[in-house]
Structure 1
Amino acid sequence: MGMKLEVVIVSVSDVDRAKQFYEKAGFRLDIDVSAGDDFRGVQFTPPDSECSIIFGKGMTAAAPGSLDGLYLIVSDIEASRQDLVGRGIEVSEVFHDAGGLFFHGHGADGIIHEAEGSGRLAGPHPERADYGSYATFSDPDGNVWILQEVRQRAPGR
C-alpha cells in the first residue's frame, strides 16, 4: 500500500506575514481561501516538492513556531542557500556534523543532537557525502527548516 505525505500544517501567528515570507522564499502559492471570520487556509508548495504546507486561521491548536525541523532536500546546498539569501531570507552558514549525521530535535531518551550545539562543523561535508551537508532557516514565527544536500538518493528512496 502506497502512502505519500501530502500536506504539513505549520502554525503561525500572523497569516499575512507568513504568506509574504513563504512567497519571498520562493514557495508556490497554491490557494488562499477564507470562510467567514474564523477560517482561512493558505497552502504553499516548496520548489519541486510533492508535499505542501498549509497555515492559516482556525487550522490548528499548535503554538505558533512549534514546528522544529522540516527537511528540504536540495541537490546543491551552497547554491540553494545563496538563492534563499538572495531572496532576503536569513539562512545559517552551511555546516556538517562532527559525528557524520545531523539529528535535530529530541528523542525519548533526551536530546538526540544539540540543535545549536558544538557538533556542527563549518562548511559542507568534506567529501560532499549525500545527506551530509546542511543549512537552516526559520520563518517569522520560528518554525525551523533544514536544507539537506542529497545528490544521489539512497537505494529505495
Structure 2
Amino acid sequence: MASFNWMAAADAVVPAAGAQSAARPDTTMAITRGAARLLTDMGFALVPELTLPNGRRADLAGLSRKGRIVIVEVKSCREDFAADAKWPSYLEFCDQFYFATGTNFPASVLPAGEGRIIADAYGGAIVTDAAERSLSGARRKALTLRFARQAAFRLTP
C-alpha cells in the first residue's frame, strides 16, 4: 500500500483563490511548509486547506495521536492579518489554534490567548502556546471523520 507524503502535500499548498492582495504567496508557502514540518515533527497528521463544517478552510489542520485537533492560520504580513476577519470562526473546531508567521511579523497585532508559530521554509517553533479548548465528543468525532474523509479523497485518483 502506497503511503501519502503529507510533507510534500504541505509543500504544494497554494493560497486560496481570491486571497487578499496583501498576502505574499512565496512567504505564505514558506511559512506553511515550516509550520507543517514542525507539526509533523510533533506527531500530527496534517491536512492542508481542511474545509470545516462552516465552509471556511483552515490553512493547516493537525490531528494528534490522541485525537486532539490543531488549526494553524498562516499570515504572511500585517496587511494579510488586518484583511482577515474570519479566523475567529475556526476556534469552535479545534482544541488549539495557532497563527504561523515569519520572523518579521509584529507579534503585537496578534490577539492574546492564541498561539504563535514562527516558521520559514525549513521548520518552525512555537513561541506562544495556544489556549487549550476542549471539543465535545460529538464535535470531535465529526471533525475527525471530516479530516479522514478529506485526506482519503485527496488520495483518490
* Bigger helix fraction: 2
TM-score, scaled relative to structure 2: 0.27
TM-score, scaled relative to structure 1: 0.27
